[in-house]
Amino acid sequence: MVSVRDVESAQNAWGEGIVAIATAHMNNGDYVGVATDHVNTLYAYQLGPVLFKPTLAAIDQFRPTFDTALSYFVASNNACPEDKGFAIKGWTNVRFENSEVLVDDNTALAMGNYFFTDGDGNVVKVEYTFGYILDGQGNLRIQLHHSSMPAETD
């Protein structure tokens, strides 16, 4: 059974993973390996279909495969030529602010804002909806990931 605390732990792991990818990139480390582990560990591509709509994707809007997800994060495999590598932009912190978390047995949905801090201390607010499922070992995996920039106001 999934709990709100499980979702919050999965969100923390996701944010820490983004920072770890950025840190490895800045230190000339194996950021592609870190990103590969991030996607393999936190997403449900090994379990079945994943609905992934990243924030900054315009041409290849949806990322149904491991390779297209990895491309979004680190732009290393030419799976989606538009990608610049979201996770290698120098993020130093990621903070989730849930509007709502719905849990139902072995699944959960979370929606809200997450905030990405860059190396200069600037914060970027992004809206998200994540859907989680439990894998065979009891770990939450992301099966739905949609994020977008907030609408502009006048």
User: What average pLDDT is seen over the chain?
Assistant: 95
**Domain range annotation of the chain:** 4-148
C-beta separation of 148 from 127 below 8 A: yes
In the chain, the N- to C-terminal Cα span, in Å, equals 44
C-beta separation of 131 from 108 below 8 A: yes
Q: Which fold has domain 4-148?
A: Nuclear Transport Factor 2; Chain: A, (3.10.450)
**Tokens encoding 43:** 């997403």
The arithmetic mean of pLDDT across residues 130-146, rounded, is: 97
- Position 77 scores a pLDDT of 83
The answer to whether residue 153 scores a pLDDT higher than 90 is: no
The arithmetic mean of pLDDT across residues 13-40, rounded, is: 98
Q: What share of the chain is helix, strand, coil (3-state, %, to 5)?
A: 30, 30, 40
Look up tokens 């106001």; give the residue.
Answer: 153
Banded model confidence at residue 72, pLDDT cuts 50, 70, 90: very high
The arithmetic mean of pLDDT across residues 44-71, rounded, is: 95
The arithmetic mean of pLDDT across residues 66-83, rounded, is: 93
C-beta separation of 95 from 112 below 8 A: no
- Position 113 scores a pLDDT of 97
